[in-house]
């Protein structure tokens, strides 16, 4: 059995796939297998996977019909035989010492989860993002209440035994923010977490076809985010957590993806989730999403705070200006 199983769900990423696969193959840590789940790709990805697997027996390809990333992740766990699970998205890439540093940290500390930082690459260049876990004995608070660390699985090396709990995954059909639910459940089950301040995972924010970035998926993503909030609200294990930050964050992205180009925002949106306003958290969300203070900041604040008598005329004015 290998020490690490790297799981990579793949869907229509032919443009970036070889860079991803080569970055995994060239790791300084060698005791790993790679579980490649082709989720019914329609481009050249299946052929690329099959050819690449011929060059290295550690790479194992599994083709399936398209059922979304949540089901692909579940299938990956079923096929994995490693002691630890690492995740690499098929349009991203990792530096050559990524696995080695995660493995050394998790074993040296006898931890269940090891978390690292990451680099996001987009048209403007590269930006470093730090995963801040101020309370390693209770990372759930940082994930849900403060959002100083993210739910993304690809910053984590995780003991496979944590996945033996069938309740780790969200219901099938949630394919946006599904990793927030998975990470929250893993943190809830884990006894210890360690963080290492390395930036060895590179997120490709140039892939416009990604489910989280493709505007064609906006309504699907909106439904998923709403269902993620409902999941946390209705789950006993999270009943003592303050979900304000998560709710504002969900509304922020729903607003940007679905309604900012409209002159009139649907009435139902203003009251979405119906939480009591926490202006301090709302301002933190906007700052975290790098919204600089100005008309757009005020517009977003008023909409998310449900101050409709000011939000509606300001949004109408700014929406008209954006369309010119």
Mean pLDDT of all residues in 155-168: 90
Rounded CA-CA distance 296/175 in Å is 29
What is the structure's pLDDT at 158?
97
Please state whether beta strands 93-94 and 156-159 pair in parallel, antiparallel, or not at all (unpaired): unpaired
Rounded CA-CA distance 293/156 in Å is 33
Mean pLDDT of all residues in 267-292: 89
Distances (CA, A) of 60 to 20, 77, 219, 275: 15, 13, 34, 46
Residue 215 reports pLDDT greater than 60: no
Q: What percent of the chain has pLDDT above 90?
A: 72
- Reduce the DSSP state of residue 5 to 3 states and report it: strand
Q: Which of 16-30, 49-63, 216-230 has the lowest mean pLDDT?
A: 216-230
Residue pair 25/57 in contact (Cβ under 8 Å)? The answer is no
Query: Which of 192, 201, 99 lies closest to 154, judged by CA?
Result: 201
pLDDT tens digits, 170-202:
988 898 999 999 999 999 999 999 999 999 999
The whole-chain average pLDDT of the chain stands at 91
Q: How confident is the model at residue 320 (pLDDT cuts 50, 70, 90)?
A: confident
Residue 128 reports pLDDT greater than 60: yes
Residue 214 reports pLDDT greater than 60: no
Question: What Rg value do the Cα atoms of the chain yield, rounded?
Answer: 20
Please state whether beta strands 32-39 and 59-64 pair in parallel, antiparallel, or not at all (unpaired): parallel
Exposure of 198 by Cβ count < 10 A (0-12 exposed, 13-18 middle, 19+ buried)? middle
What is the structure's pLDDT at 166?
64
What is the structure's pLDDT at 139?
86
pLDDT tens digits, 91-126:
999 999 999 999 999 999 999 999 999 999 988 888
Q: Which of 1-15, 35-49, 111-125 has the lowest mean pLDDT?
A: 111-125
Give residue 224's Cα distance to chain centre.
13
Q: How confident is the model at residue 137 (pLDDT cuts 50, 70, 90)?
A: confident
Q: How confident is the model at residue 209 (pLDDT cuts 50, 70, 90)?
A: low
Phi-psi region of 173 (alpha: psi -120 to 50; beta: other; left: phi over 0): left
Mean pLDDT of all residues in 259-287: 90
Please state whether beta strands 93-94 and 84-87 pair in parallel, antiparallel, or not at all (unpaired): unpaired
What is the structure's pLDDT at 231?
93
List CB contacts of 17: < 8 A, sequence separation 6 or more.
10, 45, 48, 49, 90, 91
Exposure of 44 by Cβ count < 10 A (0-12 exposed, 13-18 middle, 19+ buried)? middle
Residue 211 reports pLDDT greater than 60: no
pTM passes above 0.85: yes
Give residue 314's Cα distance to chain centre.
32
Mean pLDDT of all residues in 311-321: 91
Write out the two tokens for 165.
Answer: 């709990």
């Amino acid at each position: 059995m290998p020490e690490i199983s790297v799981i990579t769900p793949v869907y229509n990423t032919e443009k970036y796939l070889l860079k991803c696969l080569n970055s995994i193959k060239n790791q300084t840590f060698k005791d790993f297998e790679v579980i490649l789940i082709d989720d019914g790709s329609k481009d050249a990805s299946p052929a690329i996977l099959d050819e690449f697997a011929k060059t290295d027996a550690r790479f194992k390809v599994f083709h399936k019909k398209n059922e979304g990333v949540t089901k692909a992740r579940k299938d990956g766990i079923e096929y994995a035989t490693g002691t630890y699970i690492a995740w690499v998205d098929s349009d991203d890439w990792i530096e050559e010492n990524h696995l080695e540093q995660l493995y050394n940290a998790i074993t040296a500390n006898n931890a269940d989860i090891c978390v690292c930082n990451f680099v996001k690459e987009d048209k403007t260049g590269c930006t470093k993002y730090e995963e801040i876990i101020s309370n390693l004995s209770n990372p759930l608070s940082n994930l849900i209440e403060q959002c100083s660390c993210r739910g993304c699985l690809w910053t984590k090396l995780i003991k496979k035994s944590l996945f033996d709990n069938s309740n780790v995954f969200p219901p099938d059909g949630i394919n946006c923010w599904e990793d927030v639910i998975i990470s929250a459940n893993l943190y809830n089950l884990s006894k210890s977490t360690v963080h290492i301040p390395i930036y060895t995972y590179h997120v490709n924010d140039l892939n416009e076809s990604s489910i989280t970035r493709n505007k064609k998926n906006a309504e699907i993503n909106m439904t998923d985010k709403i269902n993620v909030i409902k999941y946390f609200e209705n789950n006993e294990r999270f009943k003592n957590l303050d979900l304000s930050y998560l709710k504002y964050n969900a509304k922020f992205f729903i607003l940007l993806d679905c309604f900012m180009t409209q002159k009139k925002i649907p009435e139902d949106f203003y009251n979405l989730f119906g939480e009591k306003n926490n202006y301090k958290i709302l301002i933190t969300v906007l700052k975290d999403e790098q919204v600089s203070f100005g008309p757009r900041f005020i517009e977003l604040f008023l909409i998310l705070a449900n101050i409709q008598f000011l939000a509606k005329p300001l949004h109408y004015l700014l929406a008209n200006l954006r369309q010119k």
